[in-house]
């Protein structure tokens, strides 16, 4: 189906044509007509099939038609319009990661440019002021991660009652990342008279249960029933030893020479080590993980997506596996297999996008065997096994680094952190020299928190301090005993006096006496001993 067949608003049509959008993808062809009618939709499609356009294009059409509905009696315009639209109303798009928020926001700006539709991106790790200013400008689209949006809502910066349509992009990922309660919190405060859309490459029952719980009954669209992964991605695995992974990674990049590649690892502490390993062996690479500040992560994405890109390999955790649409990625390598099968689909889906061919390789050691079994069960087929001849493996290369020289290796990211409420740059702390024994106790911050740890003064002075502490302690105990005696003697009851006397004269009632073998225990009663001996006599007689 062509976009020209949808009879879209002229301003929106001009925007699509300027971007070269002519033919709708399968998910767009099925979702757009339903969303134009105001229906709730649940869209399930493979990665790289245009899910973002599937909800942005019809929602922009509805906003534009609502603004002209008051002056037109055309039934088609009336059917596509919201019940009302005034300054302050907006479409809310919730996403799991900051990178995806920025990407969806960029699509809002590009597609809506001719129609003068504006948006703002809301996510953590950056300052609040720019985001607050964007909300004050009465934008049409708010693209947000749940945490920062809730912060702004509690500060009375955003009014959730103004939401006319709500989109959960990569909804299952938001649940996986622990945003389920945040999503419920937001749904409770958004009017029930809103349109709701849920889109993802994979879907789970928990997401749909939550949607139904809040009064939505979406029309389900599934164009990936026959295959869980994109058809134009060729994936292979290599059985290797854990220590051989750096060699195979380097050799695969050397053999295939990709224009752009993404290397995925499960561990954020491994991201910069892998990137440094590649750089030291002549392959320009950039790292992206939660260890970087938001400004550094933005810088990495700019460098990797630039047309004159010199850093053609990005090393990432799953933060980059969901939803990111980076044109030109023709190769993906899994340094480790992901723990869950759906992440595998999202990872290899970073290549082979928009009809292009892509290839994905996975390095599988004995540590990845369980993950491989789960992935193949999910795909309902075996992943092809590849093989590299000894002649294809590099013979000379610099070894995998034990630690990261961050600023020496990634100098282009130096000084990109901090500023206007941003998270401090954690990576800067890695260049500090290692602590020497005793450094912590001698630090001023430790002394403020632990004043008794100060060792200033002579040994005699310290000895006198200890003696004074002991004397004061004995005085406190003596005073307590006097108080107990006074309380006991002042009580006229003989029973109370006997009890008080027992507490004074028999401390063993409170604390068992100690000897070299530990606390003394009371001897067993004679009756029990007799019964035990009789039991054994009967047993062995």
Query: Is the per-residue pLDDT at 494 higher than 60?
Result: no
Strands 518-519 and 514-515: antiparallel
Q: What is the pLDDT of residue 46?
A: 72
Report d(CA 176, CA 173) in Å as an integer: 5
Which range, of 405-409, 471-475, 497-501, averages the lowest pLDDT? 497-501
Query: Is the per-residue pLDDT at 496 higher than 80?
Result: no
Tell which residue, 422, 128, 420, 403, has the closest CA to residue 293: 422
Q: How sure is the predictor about 529, in pLDDT bands with cuts at 50, 70 and 90? A: low
Q: What is the pLDDT of residue 325?
A: 67
Residue at token pair 């005034």: 86
- pLDDT, tens digit, for every residue of 409-464? 777 776 554 333 333 333 333 333 344 444 444 444 444 444 444 444 444 544 45
**Higher-confidence position of 71 and 496:** 71
Q: How sure is the predictor about 300, in pLDDT bands with cuts at 50, 70 and 90? A: confident
Find all residues with CB under 8 Å of 279, minimum gap 6, and list them: 285, 409
DSSP state of 7: -
Q: What is the pLDDT of residue 37?
A: 93
Q: What integer is the mean pLDDT of 242-246?
A: 94
Mean residue pLDDT across the chain: 78
Query: Is the per-residue pLDDT at 145 higher than 90?
Result: yes
Beta sheet of 358-364, edge-to-edge order: 285-288, 313-316, 261-264, 331-334, 358-364, 233-239, 384-385
Tell which residue, 137, 131, 194, 184, has the closest CA to residue 163: 194
Q: What is the pLDDT of residue 296?
A: 83
Residue 338 near residue 344 (C-beta atoms within 8 A):
yes
**Higher-confidence position of 446 and 31:** 31
**DSSP helix/strand/coil, 316:** strand
Q: What is the pLDDT of residue 538?
A: 60
Q: What integer is the mean pLDDT of 245-270?
A: 93
Query: Is the per-residue pLDDT at 470 higher than 60?
Result: no
Within 10 Å of residue 488's Cβ, how many Cβ atoms?
A: 17
Report d(CA 262, CA 373) in Å as an integer: 23
Report d(CA 224, CA 219) in Å as an integer: 16
Residue 55 near residue 31 (C-beta atoms within 8 A):
yes
Residue 130 near residue 122 (C-beta atoms within 8 A):
no
- pLDDT, tens digit, for every residue of 316-368? 988 655 656 677 888 999 999 998 888 888 888 888 776 678 899 999 999 99
- pLDDT, tens digit, for every residue of 87-135? 899 999 999 888 889 889 999 999 999 999 999 999 988 889 999 998 9
Give the CA distances from residue 396 to residues 9, 393, 399, in Å, rounded to whole numbers and listed in that order. Answer: 60, 9, 9
Q: What is the pLDDT of residue 421?
A: 33
**Higher-confidence position of 80 and 408:** 80
Q: What is the pLDDT of residue 540?
A: 57
Q: What is the pLDDT of residue 243?
A: 93
Q: Locate 7 and state its tokens.
A: 């009879």
Domains of the chain, start order: 3-222 (3.40.50.300), 233-431 (3.40.50.300)
Report d(CA 64, CA 414) in Å as an integer: 44
Q: What is the pLDDT of residue 89?
A: 94
Residue 229 near residue 349 (C-beta atoms within 8 A):
yes
> How much is the pTM?
0.61
Q: What is the pLDDT of residue 504?
A: 42
Which range, of 127-136, 385-394, 476-485, averages the lowest pLDDT? 476-485
Within 10 Å of residue 276's Cβ, how many Cβ atoms?
A: 23
Find all residues with CB under 8 Å of 272, minimum gap 6, and list them: 287, 289, 291, 315, 404, 406, 409, 410, 427
């Amino acid at each position: 189906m062509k976009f020209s067949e949808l009879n879209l608003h002229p301003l929106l049509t001009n925007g699509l044509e300027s971007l070269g959008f002519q033919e709708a993808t399968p998910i767009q062809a099925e979702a757009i007509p339903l969303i134009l009618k105001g229906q709730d939709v649940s869209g399930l499609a493979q990665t790289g099939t245009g899910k973002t356009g599937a909800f942005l294009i019809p929602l922009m059409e509805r906003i534009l038609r609502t603004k002209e509905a008051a002056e037109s009696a055309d039934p088609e315009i009336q059917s596509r319009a919201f019940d009302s639209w005034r300054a302050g109303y907006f479409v809310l798009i919730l996403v799991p990661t900051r990178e995806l928020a920025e990407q969806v926001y960029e699509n809002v700006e590009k597609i809506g440019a001719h129609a003068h539709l504006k948006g703002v991106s809301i996510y953590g790790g950056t300052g609040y002021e720019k985001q607050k200013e964007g909300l004050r400008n009465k934008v049409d689209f708010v693209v947000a991660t749940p945490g920062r949006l809730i912060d702004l809502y509690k500060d009375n910066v955003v009014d959730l009652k103004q939401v006319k349509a709500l989109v959960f992009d990569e909804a299952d990922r938001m649940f996986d990342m622990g945003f389920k309660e945040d999503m419920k919190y937001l749904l409770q405060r958004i009017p029930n008279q809103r349109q709701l859309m849920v889109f993802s490459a994979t879907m789970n029952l928990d997401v749909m249960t939550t949607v139904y719980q809040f009064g939505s009954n979406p029309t389900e669209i599934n164009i990936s029933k026959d295959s869980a992964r994109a058809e134009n991605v060729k994936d292979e695995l290599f059985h290797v030893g854990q220590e051989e992974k750096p060699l195979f990674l380097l050799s695969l990049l050397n053999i295939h020479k990709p224009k752009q590649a993404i290397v995925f690892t499960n561990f954020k502490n491994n991201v910069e080590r892998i990137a440094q390993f590649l750089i030291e062996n002549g392959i320009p690479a950039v790292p992206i993980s939660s260890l970087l500040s938001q400004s550094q992560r933005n810088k990495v994405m700019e460098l990797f997506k630039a047309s004159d890109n010199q850093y053609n390999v990005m090393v990432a955790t799953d933060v980059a596996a969901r939803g990111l649409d980076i044109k030109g990625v023709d190769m993906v390598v899994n340094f480790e297999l992901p723990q869950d099968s759906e992440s595998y689909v999202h990872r290899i889906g970073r290549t082979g996008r928009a009809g292009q061919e892509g290839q994905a390789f996975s390095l599988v050691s004995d540590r990845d065997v369980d993950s491989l079994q789960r992935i193949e069960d999910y795909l309902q087929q075996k992943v092809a096994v590849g093989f590299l001849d000894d002649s294809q493996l590099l013979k000379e290369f610099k070894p995998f680094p034990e630690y990261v020289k961050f600023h020496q290796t990634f100098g282009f990211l130096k000084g990109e952190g901090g500023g206007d409420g941003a998270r401090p740059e954690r990576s800067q702390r890695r260049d500090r020299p290692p602590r020497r024994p005793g450094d912590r106790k001698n630090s001023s911050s430790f002394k403020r928190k632990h004043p008794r740890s100060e060792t200033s003064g002579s040994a005699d002075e310290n000895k006198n301090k200890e003696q004074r502490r002991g004397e004061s302690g004995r005085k406190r105990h003596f005073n307590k005993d006097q108080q107990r005696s006074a309380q006991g003697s002042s009580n006229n009851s003989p029973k109370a006096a006997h009890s008080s006397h027992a507490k004074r004269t028999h401390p063993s009632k409170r604390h068992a006496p100690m000897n070299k073998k530990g606390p003394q225990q009371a001897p067993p009663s004679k009756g029990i001993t007799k019964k035990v001996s009789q039991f054994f006599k009967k047993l062995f007689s």
